[in-house]
Amino acid sequence: MAKGRKTVEVVRLLEWANRQLARIDEYADTGFKRGIACMIERVLMESNTYNGYMHLDADDCEFGTLGYYSRKYV
C-alpha cells in the first residue's frame, strides 16, 4: 500500500481557503465559511504564520453574517 502524503504546504492551503471564503454561490453559506475560517486560523496559528485577515467588503462585515466570514487571510 502506498503511503499518503503527510503534509500540505500552508501557503497552498491558505490560497484554497481564501478562494472558498470569496465564493458567492448558494452553497457557500455562513456555516460553510465559518468552518473554513476556523480551519485556516488553526493551521496558521499552529504553523506560526497567522497575520490576520481583511473583510472582502468593509460595508458588509457585521459579526456573524455572511459578510463577516467573507474574508481574506494574509
Residue 38 lies inside a defined structural domain of this protein: yes
| Segments forming the whole domain that contains residue 41 | 10-73
Provide the pLDDT for residue 2. Answer: 62
Residue 2 lies inside a defined structural domain of this protein: no
Q: Residue 52: name the closest of 30, 32, 31, 72 by CA.
A: 72
Provide the pLDDT for residue 18. Answer: 98
Of all residues in the chain, what percent carry a pLDDT higher than 90? Answer: 89
Q: What is the pLDDT of residues 25-41, one digit of tens each?
A: 999 999 999 999 999 99
The number of domains in the chain is 1
**Would you place residue 21 in the very low, low, confident or very high pLDDT band (cuts 50, 70, 90)?**
very high
Provide the pLDDT for residue 8. Answer: 78
Q: Cell numbers at residue 46, please?
A: 499552529
Residue 46 lies inside a defined structural domain of this protein: yes
